[in-house]
Structure 1
Amino acid sequence: MLNERQDEVVRAITDDGSFRVVALRTTDTVKAIVAAQRVKGDEARWLGELVTGTIMVRETMAPDLRVQGVLQSAVGRDALIADSHPDGGARALVQRTRGGTLVLGDGAVLQVTRTLPRGSAHKGVVRITGSGGVSASLMAYLQESEQVASAIAVCTVMDGDEVVAAGGYLVQLLPELGEGQLAVMTARLEDFPPMSTFLKDDATTPQTLLAELLYLMPYTVVGSGAVRYQCRCDSQRLRATLSTLPPAELESLIAEGKDLEIECDYCHVEYRFPVSELKTLLAVD
């Protein structure tokens, strides 16, 4: 298993300008997210891989922007949602319908959204085909929506229902790529061990994974940063949201005569607003 105590992402570019490579460890982040969402089995594995992949897309395409990845089930309206922020914080959400089951494969959809500086959004959607899983879906998204050819491997190693390790890599082809370099990398990736093999090895770090991918290829590390689980909820944000409610809605809540309880869907922390505070918000409004 990756033995760095802190989750981390490392970005590098080969000195000849052929490849951009991102390697990352997300073990602790995924463990915390899976625990917060109370998921097990395939849902936990897919959620972990979506979180890792969303971080990876942000790091390679939009390091300074928020990126959200959504996996929509092939059946029903169940979905997995992952958020990655420029400060390294990540969180995720499982949306379930009553009696619903998340199904990946033919008919499922991957949607990736980048939030642009002025609040607008760049959105790309691809349909999932076959059984390539999250890795293949991310490659299809980059190819179809961003016109970027990449090789991606994301993985969540499970022991029963417990997350053991998580991480992945991305190799992006750059404009300076020549036929010789492409042939070398193609052969290397064809023989490259599964990502799970590296995740189970205590000696593996994002840096050693990078060195394996770019063996005998001179490269320069161009960036790195910590990754962590971080929910964005807090009482001040919820209070600000409540203050935007129409007076009639606030009056209705006050008339019920009991504290307003709100639970965050991402982290399940519960916030309580007493009637006196609701009356204050109404008076300010």
Structure 2
Amino acid sequence: MSLTDPTLSHDLGLRAMSEDGSLRVIALNATATARAILNAQQAAGSEVASRLAEQATATVLLRLAMSPDYRLQTVLKHPDHGSIVADSHPDGVTRALVQQSHEATIPLGPPTLLSVHRDTYTGKLHQGVVETLEGYGLSESIAGYLKQSEQIHSVVGLRTLFDDAGELSYAGGYLVQLLPDAHVETLATVTEHLEKTGTQQIFVDGSFESESIIKEIYGEVPYRILGEDQFRFGCNCGEERILSALATLSPAEIAELASSPEPLEIACDYCNITYHIDPARLRPQD
């Protein structure tokens, strides 16, 4: 599977800003992307599936808000329950991975940590880590990260819906950010509207499409659409990457694998594709 595979279904995110430059809103429908991730991770109709879809959605939101031209990764980690990893690339390719030791999803609140890793224009890796919030959903922990680690005041909404068969029917979300020199009147109008409506009710009063969510958030406040962003599920795995990873093993381990009479079967944890590697490719070349 390629990062640029044109056959994969795309989802759409929209960026908007109030006419007076006070508030920015990013909204997206991530259903196709999240559904493909759940299929690859063999997770459906459970707390784990819902959390996985939410985190993948949140990761795309954060990338579009913080580093649209660079890769961004989120990690939700509990010392005993395991972790969920999601990352989104600047070309829109997004994937996620569940590594859990329990059937129930990772609980939020201490000691579960949320870390965000993103590349910067300087070529350095920026990392922020915060404790998740107990008694709230993942959206509140994402907003808490933005406030604590990035000093950005935000409102985040995430939503997943499953049908009676346990299949994902919708995944989406939005992010509202206060911009520098915001007008008090605009801020008060939108804040009052969000408090009265509720972050989850936004999805109910509007529709699940990105522009409908944006309209519902702004209410009577004038705004303009700044642009749209496509994204999709994908993975950058491949035989060459697997061979590069195998090359980091000890000489003894490599020799043992190279002596196998049968092709090596190695599966990618992200996309669940199995590669068959000829052991001869691990042997020293004359």
Normalised to the residue count of structure 2, the TM-score between the two structures is 0.88
Q: Secondary structure at the match of 1:68?
A: strand
- Note the C-alpha offset of 1:89: 0.9
Q: Secondary structure at the match of 2:56?
A: helix
Aligned counterpart for 2:138 among listed residues 118, 134, 139: 134
Indicate if the aligned counterparts of 2:22 and 2:180 stay in contact, CA closer than 8 A.
yes
Matched, 1:253 2:237: no
**What does 1:133-152 correspond to in 2, within 5 Å?**
133-152=137-156
Indicate if the aligned counterparts of 2:258 and 2:279 stay in contact, CA closer than 8 A.
yes
Indicate if the aligned counterparts of 1:157 and 1:196 stay in contact, CA closer than 8 A.
no
In structure 2, the residue matched to 1:53 is: 58
Aligned counterpart for 1:209 among listed residues 202, 208, 213: 213
Indicate if the aligned counterparts of 1:27 and 1:166 stay in contact, CA closer than 8 A.
yes
Matched, 1:176 2:181: yes
CA distance in 1, matches of 2:281, 2:18: 57
Indicate if the aligned counterparts of 2:190 and 2:219 stay in contact, CA closer than 8 A.
no
- Note the C-alpha offset of 1:250: 2.8
1:11-60: CA deviations, max 9, x gaps? Answer: 11112110011010001111111111112311111111111111101101
CA distance in 2, matches of 1:150, 1:79: 25
1:229-275: CA deviations, max 9, x gaps? Answer: 11111223223444555554432222233322211000111001112
Amino acid at match of 1:189: L
- Note the C-alpha offset of 1:199: 6.7
In structure 2, the residue matched to 1:233 is: 237
CA distance in 2, matches of 1:270, 1:140: 38
- Note the C-alpha offset of 1:77: 4.2
Q: 1:60 to 1:80 in 2, by over 3 A?
A: same
Q: Secondary structure at the match of 1:232?
A: coil
Indicate if the aligned counterparts of 2:87 and 2:96 stay in contact, CA closer than 8 A.
yes
Q: Secondary structure at the match of 2:129?
A: strand
Q: 1:77 to 1:119 in 2, by over 3 A?
A: farther
Aligned counterpart for 2:92 among listed residues 60, 82, 88: 88
**What does 1:90-169 correspond to in 2, within 5 Å?**
90-97=94-101, 99=102, 101-107=104-110, 108-117=112-121, 119-160=123-164, 161-169=166-174
Matched, 1:72 2:77: yes
How many residues are treated as equivalent by the alignment?
A: 275
RMSD across aligned C-alpha pairs, in angstroms? 2.3
Q: Secondary structure at the match of 2:285?
A: helix
CA distance in 2, matches of 1:109, 1:56: 19
Indicate if the aligned counterparts of 1:165 and 1:200 stay in contact, CA closer than 8 A.
no
- Note the C-alpha offset of 1:276: 2.6
CA distance in 2, matches of 1:118, 1:186: 35
- Note the C-alpha offset of 1:101: 4.3
CA distance in 2, matches of 1:241, 1:116: 25
Q: 1:31 to 1:196 in 2, by over 3 A?
A: farther
**In terms of mean alpha carbon deviation, does 146-155 or 231-240 score higher?**
231-240
Q: 1:113 to 1:93 in 2, by over 3 A?
A: same
Indicate if the aligned counterparts of 2:193 and 2:219 stay in contact, CA closer than 8 A.
no
Q: Secondary structure at the match of 1:277?
A: helix
1:214-236: CA deviations, max 9, x gaps? Answer: 23322222221112111111223
| Unmatched runs of 5 consecutive residues or more in structure 2 | 1-8
Indicate if the aligned counterparts of 1:79 and 1:102 stay in contact, CA closer than 8 A.
no
- Note the C-alpha offset of 1:144: 0.2
CA distance in 1, matches of 2:104, 2:158: 22
- Note the C-alpha offset of 1:71: 1.2
